[in-house]
Amino acid sequence: MYLWRQTHDPVYRQWGWEVVTALEKYCRTEAGFSGIQDVYSSIPNHDNKQQTFFLAETLKYLYLLFSEDDMLSLEDWVFNTEAHPLPVNHSDSSSRAGGRL
């Protein structure tokens, strides 16, 4: 998502779409999405678990990859490792850090 926003190189959306189609093909079940035990196998063996991060992180980043850039400004928001948006503090923080920033 970040590389797409910075470059608008269509390859990033192409790769994202390949992820979407692979999730549909290999991970989709009647009840949602499942992890698979061996990603190198052509026939997926589901582990019958939908991890919490799948919705909270994976789908959120895919959504943002395909959304319009102005939906969420990366100048004003940053995402932590769990894909939670945090507001950017635009105040001069270098003065509080003794100029080290």
4 closest CA partner among 53, 52, 72: 72
The token duo for 97 is: 């850090």
Q: Any known ligand binding at 81?
A: yes
Q: What is the Cα–Cα distance from 20 to 28, expressed in whole angstroms?
A: 10
**Token digits for 24?**
């549909």
Please enumerate, by residue number, every residue annotated as part of a binding site: 81
Please enumerate, by residue number, every residue annotated as part of a binding site for Ca(2+): 81
